[in-house]
């Protein structure tokens, strides 16, 4: 997809952060936008940032609801006539070790960060296949490249998003539809405020929280520009943001010993 003019871009979690920056960036590229968020007020603020004349429709959407997501896909098809770009961006994080998290806490995070991606992809893929044109962009994380302490459920979800996307690379070959996996590093969004801390969090969670706060340095706009450039260039993987390349190479070159180096590099 080298040209976004008049392409229909579906973006979840568009009310803030990377989703908002992608919405603005794609609007400037001439895309038609179907944007959603569970926070209607935040979504309204995103719309106010768009250039005059942008073709945009906002949807209040709970991406953890299968029925709501499939109804959303039908609404977009009916109002826009199709969908060319799906960006599965909605999500959050949960600070907590595997030992400390409750099953209910883990279920909340996995529903939001993994099942939402499954639902949205399942709902929009048939539209793209019928067009023989489309691109599915799944936002994973550097936590989908390397296991990190006190983020076990987040790791579970983000590794799974990566695995699903990489599976699609082969499955979609020759269909006109492709998949992209994005691994953001330290992006300066509201995820540290919007994410949750497990109820029984202790010293380990406090140390990881301090690491997270130190690494949230890259702007969402920079991240969005890298994603849009990656889509245009036909990349399958986009690694972007503070410390993202370091994590990528550590995981590849030292798969058995990276936990020790992670502690040194990130000051854990």
> Which residue in the list 59, 119, 154, 242 is annotated as catalytic?
154
- Give the gyration radius of the chain's Cα atoms: 18
Pairing, β 32-37 against β 196-197: unpaired
Decide if 242 is catalytic.
Answer: no
The DSSP bridge partners found for residue 182 are 139, 238
The CA distance from 184 to 54, in Å, is 27
Which letter does DSSP use for residue 133 in this model?
-
Q: Is the dihedral of CA 131, 229, 23, 237 positive or negative?
A: positive
The CA distance from 37 to 113, in Å, is 14
Q: Return the percent helix, strand and coil in the chain, to nearest 5.
A: 50, 20, 30
Nearest-10 Cα torsion for 106, 110, 112, 116: -160
Q: What are residue 36's phi and psi, to 5 degrees?
A: -140, 160
Q: Are 230 and 22 in contact (CB under 8 A)?
A: no
Catalytic residue numbers? 154
């Amino acid at each position: 997809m080298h040209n976004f003019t008049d392409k229909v871009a579906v973006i979840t979690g568009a009310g803030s952060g990377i989703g908002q920056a992608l919405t603005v960036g794609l609007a400037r590229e001439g895309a038609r936008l179907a944007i959603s968020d569970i926070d209607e007020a935040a979504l309204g603020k995103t719309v106010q940032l768009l250039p005059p004349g942008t073709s945009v429709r906002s949807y209040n959407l709970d991406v953890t609801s299968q029925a709501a997501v499939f109804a959303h896909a039908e609404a977009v098809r009916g109002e826009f006539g199709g969908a060319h770009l799906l960006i599965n961006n909605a999500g959050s994080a949960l600070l907590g070790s595997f030992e400390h998290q409750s099953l209910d806490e883990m279920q909340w995070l996995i529903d939001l960060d993994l099942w939402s991606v499954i639902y949205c992809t399942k709902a929009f893929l048939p539209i793209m296949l019928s067009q023989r044109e489309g691109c599915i962009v799944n936002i994973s994380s550097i936590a989908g490249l390397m296991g990190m302490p006190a983020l076990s459920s987040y790791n579970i979800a983000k590794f799974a998003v990566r695995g699903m996307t990489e599976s699609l690379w082969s499955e979609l070959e020759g269909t006109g539809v492709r998949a992209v996996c994005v691994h953001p590093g330290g992006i300066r969004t509201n995820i540290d405020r919007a994410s949750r801390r497990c109820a029984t969090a202790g010293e380990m969670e406090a140390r990881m929280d301090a690491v997270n706060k130190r690494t949230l340095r890259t702007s969402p706009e920079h991240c969005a520009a890298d994603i849009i450039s990656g889509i245009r260039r036909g990349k399958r993987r986009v690694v972007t943001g503070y410390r993202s390349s370091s994590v990528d190479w550590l995981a590849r070159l030292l798969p058995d010993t990276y936990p020790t180096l992670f502690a040194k590099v990130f000051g854990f």
